[in-house]
Amino acid sequence: MSLTKKQLYFLIIAGILLPVLCVVHLFSGQISIEFQDFSNSLFHYNNQDTNQIIVRELRIPRMLMAVIAGGGLSLAGLLMQTLFNNPLAGPFVLGINSGSSLFVAFSIMTGIPFLSSDFGIISSALIGAFSFGVLIMFFSLFVRSHVSLLLIGLMLGSFTGAIVFILQAASSSEELKSFTMWAMGSLQNTELSQLPIISSLFILGIIGSILLIKPLNTLTIGEEEAKLLGTNYKTIRLVIIVITALFTGLVTAFCGPIAFVGLAVPNLVRIIFKTQNHFVLIFASVFIGGAFILICDILIQILESSIHIPINAFTSLVGAPFVVLIVLKRLA
């Protein structure tokens, strides 16, 4: 797991940049907050103080969810790209996000109170992500070409999108509004009381990814070569799907679908660090992914007085051109 001086240098910069952006994010927004308000909201909380309420109930959860969403989706994308040995693989392209969206659509638009509760939506997003992850793995057993598998993922996305449109046509105006707001993506739907379980699952996913460093490194040379080196491919593949579904379902449940992060950031990390060492790639993906969402959300808050831009739209505006560049580079 040796790092070059350049890789270590970039990794330290990314590690420092993330907390700096966290602080900048906390002080962003239309309402000016003093540092004393942040300190008091953590150590001397007064639920009658408006500024402390804003910090504790809005800004801290929003900042932490930005880090978790960016880091989680980026790491999920890295795992999928390594598994399929394809830079265009990712939870969004392979339809895992679509699984979460479909199950959440059922939850919100069925009219059943339990399913439309916070617990029901979160559970549906996790189950949907895992189910579609397993479905992609099933197809991978019969399809040798990674391009064909990516096309299957896109078709799954189109198929689930059609079902969602049918559900929307049959839903009430209130249910339709709820789903539309969820689908736009937002970092403001998380409560402070939910952060311990969210953070625990996020850290659990990172630990699981770190434990896979050695087999992930062997997968970069190819599936057959990895098997010859003693890698239990089927087990590793299942664990990767579970971790990917965990990250994707977790982020989609609390933030809605956030596109292109899991596709663009891992490729950016590989371009910057120029390595296949997953010890470096895992931490870099978490740091840079978190930083990317923080920057996007800071810009959203700056522009908020003029126009409200959903986080899903903003990441797509930035991520889509980058992915096109990657495709053009591979075709060149």
Least confident of 54-63, 141-150, 199-208, 264-273: 141-150
- Give the confidence band of 17 by pLDDT, cuts at 50, 70, 90: very high
For the chain, which residues make up each domain, given as ranges?
5-331
Sign of CA dihedral 56, 58, 64, 68: positive
Kindly report, residue by residue over 125-173, the tens digit of the pLDDT: 888 888 888 888 788 777 766 667 778 888 888 889 899 888 888 888 8
The CA distance from 320 to 65, in Å, is 22
8-state DSSP, 222:
-
Class of the CATH-defined domain 5-331: mainly alpha
Give the C-alpha separation, 228 to 27, whole Å: 53
Tell me the two tokens of residue 148. Answer: 């064909």
Residue 295 banded pLDDT, cuts 50, 70, 90 = very high
Alpha helices by DSSP H, the chain? 5-26, 35-43, 50-54, 60-84, 96-109, 118-140, 146-170, 173-183, 195-211, 213-219, 223-228, 233-255, 261-273, 278-303, 311-331
pTM of the model: 0.89
Quote the CA–CA distance of 189 and 255 in Å, as a whole number.
7
pLDDT on residue 254: 86
| Residue scoring higher pLDDT (29 or 79) | 79
Name the more confident of 198 and 130.
198
How confident is the model at residue 331, as a pLDDT?
56
State the DSSP code for 230: T
d(CA 71, CA 151): 26
Helix (H) or strand (E) run with residue 19 in it? helix 5-26
Quickly state the pLDDT bin for 19 (edges 50, 70, 90). Answer: very high
